[in-house]
């Protein structure tokens, strides 16, 4: 039986990936770091179906112990300090977890399970402000945040492991993807929850940052399918995963608030606290290779994604 180990299983993608792999018949294991009050809400429904192990991307011995005990055939490295905004406040920590942490995992796997196939969660943030018609899965890269820098280190480390040691390490360069399981500090969830709160009369104002930033937003459950497909490919390759359409944060606000019959301009305000020291103004991906190499296509549109997220937030707040 195929055996998967997921780092970051308590996160948005980790939880959907666990759902997906279980459905495909995998034995699923996950690494969970210790915190004073565990917060397993995204995987509570999987309690009896996955095996959880203590471990931390900062701690080599814990990674070695888990790999030795589980002996996975596939490893999905999703653990990260994933909030770009926070990476300016904690750049060294972000580099340790997202950058060196990934290398720690690759090294531990090289020693203990060299045949395991590894998925590395790379990101469109590695492109920074490069024009969309110049970017490919091989670069160029020009990250503008400590988060993007750390992820680029992990990405190039993955390529090195492949080229130097023949390890099967494949990188999915994923553009933004969202869901009701998205953390509330990210812009989509902040806006959909804000729209639901405003509809219920619980807030009158939603302070926001740069409304003109544009992103290529997709549906997270679609994107975890691509992660799995990437590890089934004959050779380890790096592939962009995106919808090929972008929208502004303003359009996101418009869509979410109009879904509950409100005008975002009555609620959304600009607040300097939510602007970034260096913005990535626009990101737009090219899903051609994901379709050509993996047979992957996104199934949920931006409009549908926003509707589903607002409805989920409304149901949650009323429940």
Q: Interface residues with ligand F7E (CB under 6 A)? A: 82, 84-85, 123-125, 175-176, 185-187, 190, 208-210, 213, 215, 249, 274, 276, 279-280
Q: Which does 185 bind (CB under 5 to 8 A by kind): ligand F7E, ligand NAP, none?
A: ligand F7E
- Minimum Å gap between C-beta 180 and ligand NAP is 12
For the four alpha carbons of 30, 35, 39 and 44, in that order, the dihedral sign comes to positive
Q: Which does 85 bind (CB under 5 to 8 A by kind): ligand NAP, ligand F7E, none?
A: ligand F7E
- Minimum Å gap between C-beta 140 and ligand F7E is 17
275-279, long-range: CB within 8 Å, 24+ apart, which pairs? 275/209, 275/210, 276/84, 276/85, 276/88, 276/145, 276/209, 276/210, 277/88, 278/144, 278/145, 279/144, 279/210, 279/213
- The Cα-based distances of 176 to 123, 128, 153, 286, 319 in angstroms read 8, 13, 19, 13, 28
DSSP-derived 3-state class of residue 111: helix
Distance from the Cα of residue 36 to its chain's centroid: 24
Residue 33 sits in the site that holds ligand NAP (CB under 6 A): yes
Among candidate residues 16, 76, 119, 147, the one labeled active-site is 147
Q: Which does 74 bind (CB under 5 to 8 A by kind): ligand F7E, ligand NAP, none?
A: none
Q: Which does 57 bind (CB under 5 to 8 A by kind): ligand NAP, ligand F7E, none?
A: ligand NAP
Q: Which is nearer to ligand NAP, 47 or 234 (CB)?
A: 47
Does 16 participate in catalysis according to the annotation? no
Q: Which does 190 bind (CB under 5 to 8 A by kind): ligand F7E, ligand NAP, none?
A: ligand F7E
Report helix angle 302-318 to 187-199, nearest 10.
50
For the four alpha carbons of 85, 87, 88 and 90, in that order, the dihedral sign comes to positive
Spatial separation of the C-alpha atoms in residues 253 and 264, rounded to whole Å: 6
Does 235 participate in catalysis according to the annotation? no
Residue 67 sits in the site that holds ligand NAP (CB under 6 A): no
4, 10, 146, 171: which one contacts ligand NAP (CB under 6 A)? 10
Beta carbons of 192 and 256 less than 8 angstroms apart: yes
Segments in the chain forming alpha helices (H): 12-23, 60-70, 84-87, 91-94, 101-112, 146-165, 187-199, 220-232, 249-259, 288-294, 302-318
Among candidate residues 125, 178, 223, 243, the one labeled active-site is 125
Q: Which of residues 90-109 bind ligand NAP (CB under 6 A)?
A: 97
Does 125 participate in catalysis according to the annotation? yes
From residue 135 to residue 174, what is the string marking binding to ligand NAP with x (rule CB under 6 A)? ---------------------------------------x
Per CB under 6 A, residues contacting ligand NAP are: 7-8, 10-14, 31, 33, 35, 56-58, 78-82, 97, 121, 123, 174, 176-177, 183
* Catalytic (active-site) positions: 123, 125, 147
């Amino acid at each position: 039986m195929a055996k998967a180990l997921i780092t970051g299983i308590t996160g948005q993608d980790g939880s959907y990936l666990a759902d997906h792999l279980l459905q495909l018949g995998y034995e699923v294991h996950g690494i969970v770091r210790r915190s004073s009050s565990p917060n397993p809400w995204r995987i509570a429904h999987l309690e009896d179906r996955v095996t959880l192990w203590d471990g931390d991307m900062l701690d080599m011995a814990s990674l070695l112990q888990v790999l030795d005990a589980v002996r996975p055939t596939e490893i999905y490295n999703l653990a990260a300090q994933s909030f770009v905004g926070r990476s300016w406040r904690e750049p060294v920590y972000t580099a340790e977890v997202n950058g060196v942490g990934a290398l720690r995992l690759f090294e531990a796997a090289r020693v203990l399970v060299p045949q395991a196939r590894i998925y590395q969660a790379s990101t469109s943030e590695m492109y920074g402000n490069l024009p969309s018609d110049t970017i490919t899965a091989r670069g160029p890269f020009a990250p503008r945040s400590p988060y993007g820098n750390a992820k680029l280190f992990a990405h190039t480390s993955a390529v090195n492991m492949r080229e130097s040691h023949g390890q099967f390490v494949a990188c999915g360069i994923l553009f933004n993807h969202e869901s009701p399981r998205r953390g509330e500090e990210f812009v989509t969830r902040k806006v959909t929850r804000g729209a639901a709160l405003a509809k219920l009369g619980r807030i009158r104002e939603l302070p926001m940052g740069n409304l003109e930033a544009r992103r290529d937003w997709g549906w997270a459950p679609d994107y975890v399918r691509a992660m799995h497909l990437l590890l089934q490919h004959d050779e380890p390759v790096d592939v962009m995963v995106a919808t090929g359409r972008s929208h502004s944060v303003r359009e996101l606000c418009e869509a979410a608030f109009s879904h509950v019959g409100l005008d975002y301009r009555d609620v959304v305000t600009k607040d300097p606290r939510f602007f970034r020291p260096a913005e990535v103004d626009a990101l737009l991906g090219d899903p051609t290779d994901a379709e050509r190499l993996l047979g992957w296509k996104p199934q949920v549109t931006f409009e549908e994604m926003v509707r589903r997220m607002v409805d989920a937030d409304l149901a949650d707040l009323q429940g």
